[in-house]
Structure 1
Amino acid sequence: MQIPKLIGFHAQPPTALKVLLGAIPFLIIILLYSHLGEIHRELKPDSLLMPSFTEVGDKVAELTTEPENKRRPTPTLFGDTISSVSNLLIGMVISSIVALVLGLHMGLSRGLNGLIGPLFTLISFIPPILAVPIVIASMGKDDGGKITLIVLGLSLLMAGNLRDYVKDLPKELLIKTQTLNASWMGVLYRTYLPLMMPKLIDQLKLNIGTAWIMLFTAEFVAASQGLGYRIYISRRWLDMSVIVPYMLWIAAISFVILWTLNQTKKHCFRWSTLG
């Protein structure tokens, strides 16, 4: 039986065909934008809504070479990137630590889960984005407020999923570990913690978008620098020559973070990818 290359449940397109199929949607979008953009610019020459590729290129060159002002000598795009990405990564690291501690201990300790489980569940039902006014009002425009919002948006969600993951692990694992005279600390940190690390990486991969949302929400409300802040102030004039490159840049950063997490899981926890 010949395996189909394109259509069918068992189709296995070759690498060249995969690349071609993946490029087709992008080519269609570029052609549509080019055609519709020409029509739009003829009707509204002063509009910034659909700039030409030349205008976008000139704007990108300006953002990557010229500083925002004399107090910030770093080019605008790089300064915004450093500001946002540093807050994002710090928030994700803190969220990971909080989620690991809560998820591990609540999953293994019924007493602790009974003590803080109801409060944990109640807080997790409240959209963290509602905490933006409180956090900004109490912590101001500093980076601490942005990091706090990321932690609120990620940590409880990931902790709940990790807790459920620990509960679903076979009970025989705990029994066998205790049979070998493992201490309480040994059970937690030598047996269960390594099993949770690949799951934590999966949770981070799933919640990259949530982390960006919390960060950008804070930058929209109170910030003077950052990727979200730049998009927000450009929104007032619908300056798509800034908004579109920034959106693509954010997607590229997300791809790098996702790739790094995948490589970390692959090389540090190779056993989790077997089978």
Structure 2
Amino acid sequence: MHQRTVAKAVTYTGIGLHSGQDVTITINPAPPGTGIVFSRIDLPGKPQVAAIAGNVTNAMRATTLENGLAKVFTVEHLLAAFYALEIDNCLVEIDAAEPPVADGSSLPFVKMIQEAGAVEQNVLRKLVTIKKAQIVRADDKFITILPYDGFRITFTSINPHPMLGVQFGDYEINQDVFIREIAPARTIGFMHEVEALKAQGLALGGSLENAVVYDNEKALTPLRFEDELVRHKILDIIGDLVLAGRIKGHVIAVKSSHALNTALAKEIVEHI
């Protein structure tokens, strides 16, 4: 299989989930071997940061990438779309630190990439084949990856909320499955967390239009799937693990988070 990039530039404008700032992103074609690179066009010199595991500096509530003055965060939904639609190389121009939240899912980014189209390039794609099990643990949470001929994610979510409880998802990830079953799943939030998050400078752009919000008893937002939470957790894993490359392996996780996901991405890179 050859590497691919987008066929033309496409622009999208919205607000950042955590920053609450207006932001515009443009996805641009890029040469073979570029990978996914973010360019902060709002800063002098348009500094760039590559979407690689070694550039992860924070994983609280979202994944942050930094290289010098170039910093971007909450990039996982966009990165998951690039992975699923098999885009290896792209220059993402962004005029703030955080991409638009859109509707809280990956679907708007899928549509953006579909609008741009894709072109095959004259360099072969490199695959990261998992040859032995690797695991990251933290308290009652873990994420592991096993050798597997494909890319499969098995996730168990355990949440004390009466409407959530235990949710289980198991998907062989390919483009069709991602677009139909995973990409539409939105970020989950809880009313009791909102004030605390905003005090930390997080969720400033969150609303019922771009997240599934629960109060103590029920969802305040109509669900797209009964198990939307676990599907979104799988979406996050895809976006975080692509930081290690295009992986062949079976991911099994229980209550995993961006912190564990990105730690596993770094472990994978160390063992390549």
Q: TM-score when scaled to structure 2?
A: 0.22
Tell me which protein shows more strand as a share of its residues.
2
Q: Which has the higher contact order (CA 8 A, sep 6+)?
A: 2
Larger relative helix fraction: 1
Q: Which has the larger radius of gyration?
A: 1
TM-score in terms of structure 1 length: 0.22
